[in-house]
Amino acid sequence: MSVFVAWMPDEDALDALAALCASIAGRLPPAGRLKWRNRRQLHVTLRFLHGGLPPDPGPLYAMLADIASRTRRIEVVFDRIEIWPRVLVARPAPDPALERLFAGIEAVARACGEAPERGAAAPHVTLAYPEQRTATLPASLDTGPGSLPPLPFATCLGRIAVAHTVPGGYDTPHWWPLQEAAPPDDPLA
């Protein structure tokens, strides 16, 4: 079971992500078939918890609640598609508030015994994998400006959650809302 800290999109963001997946799928050659994430699987991964939940998740939950209480809602603009070695992802534009949240969640994970994140750690939405998990994605996918009409799209990141896999999607039994306005002079604001 995968466990991670994430943002689960609202219906408007899910609509935009589903349109993005359909647009990309229509541009791929038949040989580039991908296994697309279904609507219930689309989310922004902020940090995998490779060790799963700690035996006592209380400190993890308390630290995530603290971060959420000190972080204002973030307007996130997804502006690009990236091909990672075995996954196709949508990435948000650089944003200082999102970067601070991401760094804060990384610090929480490390404080709870997680090793530093492996690979290209960055906020992302996994859109698809190759049909065969050991295959690599085609490097020929045109992801340049104007090639994917649904980009960019903006959405509001309004809460963070600890999520885990369930058949066909994810469950978020623990989540924390971000604030409408951050406290003044807060480093996470």
Instruction: Determine contact, residues 124/90, Cβ cutoff 8 Å.
Output: yes
Helix (H) or strand (E) holding 98: helix 96-111
3-177: in CATH 3.40.50.12160? no
pLDDT digits (tens, 9 = 90+) for 118-138: 766 789 999 998 877 666 665
For the record, the structure tokens of 128 come out as: 């698809």
For 123, phi then psi, to 5°, come to: -60, 135
User: With left for phi above 0 and alpha for psi between -120 and 50, is residue 185 left, alpha or beta?
Assistant: left
Distance from C-alpha of 61 to C-alpha of 173, rounded to nearest angstrom? 11
pLDDT digits (tens, 9 = 90+) for 12-24: 889 888 888 888 8
Q: Is 77 exposed, middle or buried (0-12, 13-18, 19+ CB in 10 A)?
A: middle
Distance from C-alpha of 81 to C-alpha of 119, rounded to nearest angstrom? 17
> Residue 182: is its pLDDT beyond 70?
no
Distance from C-alpha of 168 to C-alpha of 38, rounded to nearest angstrom? 8
SS3 73: coil
User: With left for phi above 0 and alpha for psi between -120 and 50, is residue 119 left, alpha or beta?
Assistant: left
Task: Give the CA distances from residue 184 to residues 64, 113, 156, 181, in Å, rounded to whole numbers and listed in that order.
Answer: 20, 31, 21, 9
pLDDT confidence of residue 145:
54
Instruction: Provide the pLDDT confidence category of residue 108 given band limits of 50, 70 and 90.
Output: very high
Percent of the chain with pLDDT over 90: 49
Task: Give the CA distances from residue 133 to residues 23, 70, 128, in Å, rounded to whole numbers and listed in that order.
Answer: 22, 39, 11
Distance from C-alpha of 184 to C-alpha of 164, rounded to nearest angstrom? 34
DSSP code, position 159? E
pTM of the model: 0.83
